Amino acid sequence: MSDQSIHAQQYTAPYEAWPGVCAAPNCYYLTLHQGHQVSLSGWLDNDGGLDEPRIKFMGKTGPQYATAITPEQREHIRHFVGVAKVTQFGDEKWLRGRLVQWFPERKYGGRAYMVLFADNTYTVGEHLARIGHTFPGIDKDSRTRLYIPGRVDELSEAVVQDIFSDPNVLEIWETGSRWL
C-alpha cells in the first residue's frame, strides 16, 4: 500500500459529477493540492494489476490531469492526500475546448506525438474517419489506448488540432524517440 493512502479513512477529496447526461461517463479531471504532481510515469500504475495513483509531493504544483478510470478507481483515488478534487467531464464542447496537455519534452533525438484515447475499444480507423486524416503505417483496425501519428516536425498545428477535436481523444503527448 502506498504511503499516500495510509490516511484513507481520514481524508476524502470532493467529487463533482457532470450535470445531466454524460457523453463519456468514465472521464475525470483531477485537481491536486498545492505542491503535488502526477509523476512522469502517468496517472495510475497499472503494471501487475495495481491501481495506486502515482501522485507525489514534489514541492511545486504540476499540470492538472484528465483520464478515463472506473468508478471504483475514482473512489479509491479520492482518499489520496494529494488529491484536492475529482471532477467528471463528458461534454464534447468541454472536451474540445480544453488545452492540449503536453508530455514533458525528452532529449532522445526525434520527438513525436502520441495520442491517447478515452476508450480502448475505439479503433484508430474510427478516429481517422472522424478527423478526416490518414497517416502512413497506422493499423486502422487496431483497438488501442494510444497511437503515434507521426513526428513533431511532420505534423502541422492544424493537424494536431484536428486530432484533438475528436472527443474520444483524452491527450496528445509530445514524446521522445524512445517511444517510437
Q: What is the mean pLDDT of the chain?
A: 70
Write down the pLDDT at residue 155: 81
Long-range contacts of 127-130, Cβ-Cβ distance < 8 Å, separation of 24 or more: 127/163, 127/166, 127/168, 127/169, 130/166, 130/168
95-151 tens-digit pLDDT: 455 543 433 333 444 567 888 888 778 888 899 999 999 888 787 887 777 888 877
Average pLDDT over residues 3-32: 71
Average pLDDT over residues 146-169: 82
Write down the pLDDT at residue 45: 44
Picking from 55, 77, 56, the residue whose alpha carbon sits closest to that of residue 68 is 77
How far, in Å, CA of 67 to CA of 71, rounded?
12
Q: Indicate whether 168 pLDDT > 60.
A: yes
Contact 143, 121 (CB under 8 A): yes
Which one has a higher pLDDT value, 50 or 161? 161
How far, in Å, CA of 146 to CA of 123, rounded?
10
Q: Residue 85 contacts by C-beta under 8 Å, 6 or more apart in sequence?
A: 13, 14, 15, 16, 30, 31
Write down the pLDDT at residue 54: 62
What pTM value is reported for the model? 0.47
Instruction: Indicate the domain borders of the chain.
Output: 3-91, 111-179
Element housing 96 (H / E): helix 92-97
Per cent of the chain over pLDDT 70 is 59
